[in-house]
Amino acid sequence: MNPVIPIQTDRGCQEAPVLRERGQREVFCGLTGIIWLHRKMQDAFFLVVGSRTCAHLIQSAAGVMIFAEPRFATAILDERDLAGLADAQDELDRVVQRLLERRPDIRMLFLVGSCPSEVIKLDLSRAAARLSQRHAPRVRVLNYSGSGIETTFTQGEDACLAALVPSLPAQPPEAAGHAPELLVVGALADVVEDQFRRQFDAMGLQRVDFFPARSSTTLPAIGPQTRFLLAQPFLGDTARALEARGARHVPAPFPLGAEGSAAWLQAGAAAMGLDRDRTAEVIEPWRQRAGRALETHRLRLAGQRVFFFPDSQLEIPLARFLSRELGMQLVEVGTPYLHRSHLAEELALLPSGTALSEGQDVERQLDRCRAARPDLVVCGLGLANPLEAEGLTTKWSIELVFTPIHGFDQAADLAALFTRPLLRRQRLAA
């Protein structure tokens, strides 16, 4: 039998105090989001307008071999551009023209701003409008900022999708008399999207779309009949843009682990008017299978203490999963931004008294982490190696974004990401 997941009888951490810190930060920039977005949007191309450092970052993050031809590139700003000796808009037009001639498969082009392009005030929105008009209807050109000056790395996806929302077609007027349509928002691996489609279909939901779509020719129509489920907790700007188009947000925990996936699917079904008991009956076999797959990891992780540095904005849903389904103890859960309305259901499921922090003052957080000596630290790459050298066991938070972790079938894979560092430490000690 599977262990019964306890139901919270209090309000968890919905009203818990949050330590807000505004100091030095250690995060990747939003350009990193291109790595998973270009895999998802199969006829889109991402052209970063930045420096050689931007190009090296993306290439390193993607692990692209020198002979590969991915769907992203960097238009490098050199000394002439930075000094104002060349017209950057004219230069950009020439780069885009050459790119589209070479890659006729491109149907959507994103001009992605970077720290260098924003420092010199290069107006990419004007360039996108001009180029979109020039290359219409074959190619649509949009722009967003991937700068890391004031953001964390997952906000690159948020900025990209928010920029795409105005391009989504409107629901036809006759849709007002029809049943609502469900929209799943957030880039998911294709295998995970296919799993969710099958599960929604088994529940009796056929009117389900995913955003972003795999093709720019199949963008979902939205309007007042749209109900949207967030698959990722870092899509605040995208959610606001969808609500401005008339869509309604469906509050739900995020689909991480058996409990989160079940609650997320049930919330979507309820928003579409399905019977709750019937939905629970359909979901239960998937939930039980995921629970059985988690048992081995629970034996290894139960009682272990974990500390989250703020990095990906996945921290609170992950903390809920580790605490409730794997029995880990939460020392501190830090997140770059705490969107209370989107995370209300997650906060209610955290153990009362959990230490929460928003933002970052890295030196103070390091001091608290060193004093606590947790069994596992979830943090960015810039902190992981120094902490490992001090004898602490770490998990790279960026791997949790690059890896398919959503849904029932990925629950054990998600747990294994936390089990492996502890097993590695045990082997090294032996």
Is 160 one of the annotated binding-site residues? no
Q: Crossing angle of helices 276-301/411-429, nearest 10°? A: 0
pLDDT tens series, the chain, 430 aa: 333 333 444 567 887 888 898 877 777 788 989 999 998 999 999 999 988 888 888 887 777 655 556 889 998 876 665 555 457 788 899 999 999 999 999 999 999 999 888 878 889 999 999 999 999 999 999 999 998 776 788 999 999 999 999 999 998 877 666 778 999 999 999 999 999 999 999 999 988 999 999 999 899 999 999 999 999 999 999 999 999 999 999 999 999 999 999 999 999 999 999 999 999 999 999 999 999 999 999 999 999 999 999 999 999 999 999 999 999 999 999 999 999 999 999 999 999 999 999 998 999 999 999 999 999 999 998 899 999 999 999 999 989 998 999 999 999 999 999 999 999 988 888 7
Q: What is the pLDDT of residues 2-61, one digit of tens each?
A: 333 334 445 678 878 888 988 777 777 889 899 999 989 999 999 999 888 888 888 877
Q: In sequence order, what DSSP letters do the residues of 149-166 get, joined into one string?
A: SS--TTHHHHHHHHHHGG
The pLDDT value given to residue 79: 61
The pLDDT value given to residue 133: 94
Is 115 one of the annotated binding-site residues? yes
Between 3.40.50.300, 3.40.50.720, 3.40.50.1980, 3.40.50.2300, what CATH number should domain 173-281 receive?
A: 3.40.50.1980
Check the CA dihedral 29-218-181-184 and report its sign: negative
The pLDDT value given to residue 48: 94
Question: Which CATH architecture best describes the domain 18-25+294-429?
Answer: 3-Layer(aba) Sandwich (3.40)
The domains spanning 30-151 and 173-281 adopt the same CATH topology = yes
Is 369 one of the annotated binding-site residues? no
Q: Which tokens hold the place of 402?
A: 């690059």
Question: Quick one: which of 256, 222, 243, 419 has its CA closest to 325?
Answer: 256
Q: Which tokens hold the place of 223?
A: 């309007």
The pLDDT value given to residue 293: 97
The pLDDT value given to residue 128: 95
The hierarchical CATH code for the domain 30-151 is: 3.40.50.1980
Query: Quick check: helix, strand or coil at residue 365?
Result: helix
Domain edges within the chain: 18-25+294-429, 30-151, 173-281
pTM of the model: 0.92
Q: What is the pLDDT of residues 234-273, one digit of tens each?
A: 999 999 999 999 999 999 999 999 999 999 999 999 999 9
The pLDDT value given to residue 80: 60
d(CA 217, CA 43): 9
β-strand partners of 357 = 19, 334
Distances (CA, A) of 53 to 50, 77, 119, 148, 416: 8, 11, 15, 13, 33
- Which residue type does 29 have? C
